[in-house]
Structure 1
Amino acid sequence: MGMKLVAGLLAASLVGACAAGNAAPESASRAPAETYSRNPYPSTYQPYPGVPTLVTNVTIFDGEGGRIDNGSVLFADGEIVELGQNVAAPEGATVIDGAGKWVTPGIIDVHSHLGNYPSPSVEAHSDGNEVTGPVHPDVWAEHGVWPQDPGFSRALANGGVTSLQILPGSADLFGGRSVTLKNVPARTMQGMKFPGAPYGLKMACGENPKRVYGNRNQMPGSRMGNVALNRATWAKAVEYDRRWDKYEEDGGDAPTRDIGMDTLRGVLDGEISVHNHCYRADEMAVVMDMAKEFGYEVSTFHHAVESYKIADILRENGVCSAMWADWWGFKMEAYDGIEENIPLVHNAGACTIVHSDDPNGIQRLNQEAAKALANGRRMGIQISDEVAWTWLSYNPAKAIGVDDRTGSLKPGKMADLVLWNGNPFSVYTRPEKVWIDGALLYDALDPTRRPVTDFELGQPGQGDTK
């Protein structure tokens, strides 16, 4: 049973967007070496139609640490046009008086499994981990994304989430490629795929791989085994990269294609970013040393409950930390987590991100950031609200590699923004309106602007299906 959209405009636009956006696949005659990190499954994403809109009399967090009181923001043709305190509405623009409300960039979740672990949570829908071996850079998260997951519309309506990175799970040392999506209703994954967003590689260290595979009496069964198998795999990838470089330079017979090694070659050449599940500070340090050994960079450590212990090292290496506000103690490697982790990492000048890793947490990331903000202030770290918003939009956009197009309210960037009905760091505040590429996709005041799924509407014969 497919997704049912209440709004007729959204339904009509959906068909048009998906049909008009179909792109021809890359030529089969393209040399394999030219496709190792490019995308043979192109995005067919087409923005929903929007109208020129001016939101006035609001408090604006621009996503990069700036704040405008009694401000206005104008967007048209899918982009931010202007923001400030004296912005004029062009002829024909929709004008919204937001007195007493806030405008922010849409939230970007750098760590989600929506679509790969969708609701309802049943074994038949569990597609996030290829647990048949610890090294699987060959699998791609996008090939398991179910676009009808009701978690997407809930993240939009309850959490103001406009983009999100879908990652494979953390059972494997090399979990596979990630995909970044725009949070729009679509019939296919390609219809949600963020155009031109770089791929990521999901890796994992610590307890998960050694437990999953050690329990099968196979490697890795220890943290030593984790690193040994990582290093052995990267050594093969370096040799694979060398062979292809030589072929591209000198010609001759092409090396045998390996789609898993293609991904690792993309990492070594800086086209695919590494997102590493890692809890303990000592393991993060080892991973950074390993990255230097083999010539790649780590974009972000995810979960990173001990980042506060090595925040200066993370800053010096330019590595982001994607963290929870207060999850800790649920396993031994999470035991040293502290509620001040996020503000301490921020205070050290390191890249700081609030993430979810959870279909419920993604609906209240603003509240997670608020908890971290309060915990910092309680220990004397004074971080302003507008600066803390960087944890939710600009920094995750930077970690994914889309900060040139979204994550902040700057002229020319995508008009991905949220009108909140109060201070967005209050537990009482909800999104009132959410725009993606300037199209109003959610409006709490208009029932026809609320995309819902079968799970909200009920099974056949249940509920109001008008």
Structure 2
Amino acid sequence: MRIRALLALAAGGSLMAGCAATAANTNSASSAPPVKASKSDVPAFPSTYKAYPSVPTAITGVTIFDGEGGRIDKGTVFMAGGKITSVGGPDTAIPAEVTIVDGSGKYVTPGIIDVHSHLGDYPTPSVSAHSDGNEATSPVTPEVWAEHSVWPQDPGFSRALANGGITSLQILPGSANLFGGRSVTLKNVSARTVQAMKFPGARYGMKMACGENPKRVYGGRNRMPSTRMGNLALNRQTWIDAQEYRSKRNDAKPPKRDLAKETLVGVLDGEILVHNHCYRADELNQIIDMSKEFGYKVTAFHHAIESYKIADILAKEDICSAVWADWWGFKMEAYDGIPENAALLQNAGACVIIHSDDENQIQRLNQEASKALSNGRAMGIEISDAQAIQWITLNPAKAMGIDSMTGSLKPGKMADLVLWNGNPLSVYSRPEKVWIDGALLFDSGDPKRRPVSDFELGQPGEGDVK
């Protein structure tokens, strides 16, 4: 993994023996115990994440968007021990002997969170040898785990940190399959293994897909599904089989262990969150009906170009819509997208998330949120800057089940935050500094805090070989 980058950070005094933020000390109502590999108490592929070392730091005189819709002018954020300690106005008390960062004329937000990324599974460079996001051998593959494809040396991780202020992200399998497999939530830190990036205490997600993609991938092979009705039929039969497996787990002779059904039972038991790729409003509603039939909950619809048509239903069901600002028309089910989608959802009281699904767009989710905000204001929907920041901080954290740990600048939460050189909703603004668990991992003014993967460094020249 990024050995040279890690050594460079060590030389800069930022890599020492640090304490880990672990599942044991998160004390989060939103987190669930790691899903077990079997009936033993040993979790499968556990997080080995350890926070980088931090020093007590106060950012003063800064405009604060707290991630929960609040704004404080000339405020102060104080962090210590990897946590947010206090957030307040100019009179906020600051302990002696702490690092002071002058934020005058600048802005601070929670770390930006992307609920829909394929970094590591479709890494840069985008060549066929790196195409590890779709197990396109069957329309039903809940047994696969995205983390087993993640390449930690993907240059996209450090670019997302430096250019987009991304501190946490969910890596999902692709959308070729009705059941694509488990997602994994990562802290955006340099590490040698994906387990050392895994967000401690985060729940797994399961990627599902509806509509054109599954029927296109498999229908051309003269196999099911080739239609939308085939999609739903295969979905329902899969859930029926999972229910049967679940009912027999405690039998005197339980069924043979099945990795696919273990994931599905995790969903039925409420341990694994469902993230469903879906575009058309009528299909969104059908998926909601199916989830009620089998007793699970959809956490978020992704892409959801027509969410605005059923915004009231989504608000009532407490289902988030992870959407783009203005992508549309690239296939038939994406034809009826409108740039006011996010604003109309917000206006209806529904949960809005701006996501990337792209290694470049993840570097500018702040600008995507700004576009969606501007389109809403143009049609007369009043949304504040602070509310729009929630679309790329607290709301994705909610959909990923980590909102009690990160996503807003609230005392006791992880000190994941970004100092911007201007209003983050301006196209001219860039991250100036990024902290993860209170550790300064990016500083635009310090080359030693610009992590670069080994892959980006390339091969040594002949003169470098000894």
TM-score normalised by L of structure 1: 0.93
Q: Is the 8 A contact 2:299 2:320 kept in 1?
A: yes
Deviations 1:245-294 (A, max 9, x none): x43xxxx2222211110000010010000000001101000000000001
Matched position secondary structure for 1:299: strand
Structure 2: give runs of 5+ residues left out of the alignment: 25-35
Matched position secondary structure for 1:412: coil
Deviations 1:125-155 (A, max 9, x none): 1110101100000000011110010000000
Equivalent position of 1:52 in the other structure: 56
Q: Identity of paired residues, percent?
A: 70
CA distance in 2, matches of 1:51, 1:462: 41
Q: Does 1:321 align with 2:321?
A: yes
Equivalent position of 1:403 in the other structure: 403
Equivalent position of 2:354 in the other structure: 354
Pairwise CA RMSD: 2.3
Q: Is the 8 A contact 1:139 1:177 kept in 2?
A: yes
Structure 1: give runs of 5+ residues left out of the alignment: 24-29
CA distance in 1, matches of 2:157, 2:342: 26
Q: 1:177 to 1:131 in 2, by over 3 A?
A: same
Q: Is the 8 A contact 1:56 1:98 kept in 2?
A: yes
Q: 2:148 aligns with which of 134, 143, 149?
A: 143
Q: Which amino acid aligns with 1:152?
A: F
Q: 1:57 to 1:334 in 2, by over 3 A?
A: same
Equivalent position of 2:203 in the other structure: 198
Range that drifts further, 87-96 or 265-274: 87-96
CA distance in 1, matches of 2:363, 2:463: 24
Equivalent position of 1:61 in the other structure: 65
Equivalent position of 2:30 in the other structure: none
Query: How much does 1:13 deviate?
Result: 6.7
Q: Does 1:427 align with 2:427?
A: yes
CA distance in 1, matches of 2:430, 2:207: 32
Matched position secondary structure for 2:167: strand
CA distance in 2, matches of 1:19, 1:353: 29
Equivalent position of 2:79 in the other structure: 75
CA distance in 2, matches of 1:101, 1:464: 43
Q: 2:227 aligns with which of 222, 225, 235?
A: 222
Q: Which amino acid aligns with 1:215?
A: G
Q: 1:210 to 1:462 in 2, by over 3 A?
A: farther
Q: 1:464 to 1:63 in 2, by over 3 A?
A: farther
- Equivalent residue runs for 1:96-111 within 5 Å: 96-111=101-116
Q: Is the 8 A contact 1:457 1:463 kept in 2?
A: no
Query: How much does 1:19 deviate?
Result: 11
Q: Is the 8 A contact 2:19 2:52 kept in 1?
A: no
Q: Does 1:253 align with 2:259?
A: no
Q: 2:191 aligns with which of 186, 191, 214?
A: 186
Q: Which amino acid aligns with 2:59?
A: V
Deviations 1:227-255 (A, max 9, x none): 000000001011111111x43xxxx2222
Moved over 2 A (4+): 1-4, 6-21, 30-35, 453-465
CA distance in 1, matches of 2:371, 2:453: 31
Matched position secondary structure for 1:402: coil
Matched position secondary structure for 2:246: helix
Q: Which amino acid aligns with 2:262?
A: D
Equivalent position of 2:95 in the other structure: 90
CA distance in 2, matches of 1:423, 1:280: 34
CA distance in 2, matches of 1:234, 1:403: 28
Equivalent position of 2:330 in the other structure: 330
Q: Does 1:372 align with 2:377?
A: no
Q: Tell me how many residue pairs correspond in the alignment.
A: 451
Range that drifts further, 332-341 or 453-462: 453-462
Q: Is the 8 A contact 2:134 2:175 kept in 1?
A: yes
Equivalent position of 2:295 in the other structure: 295
Equivalent position of 2:178 in the other structure: 173
Q: 1:450 to 1:223 in 2, by over 3 A?
A: same
Equivalent position of 2:32 in the other structure: none
Query: How much does 1:456 deviate?
Result: 4.3
CA distance in 1, matches of 2:348, 2:108: 28
Deviations 1:403-435 (A, max 9, x none): 000000000000000000000000000000000
Q: 1:463 to 1:430 in 2, by over 3 A?
A: farther
Q: 1:14 to 1:217 in 2, by over 3 A?
A: farther
CA distance in 2, matches of 1:389, 1:341: 16
CA distance in 1, matches of 2:277, 2:463: 42
Matched position secondary structure for 2:194: coil
Matched position secondary structure for 2:371: helix
Matched position secondary structure for 2:45: coil
Q: Is the 8 A contact 1:61 1:389 kept in 2?
A: yes
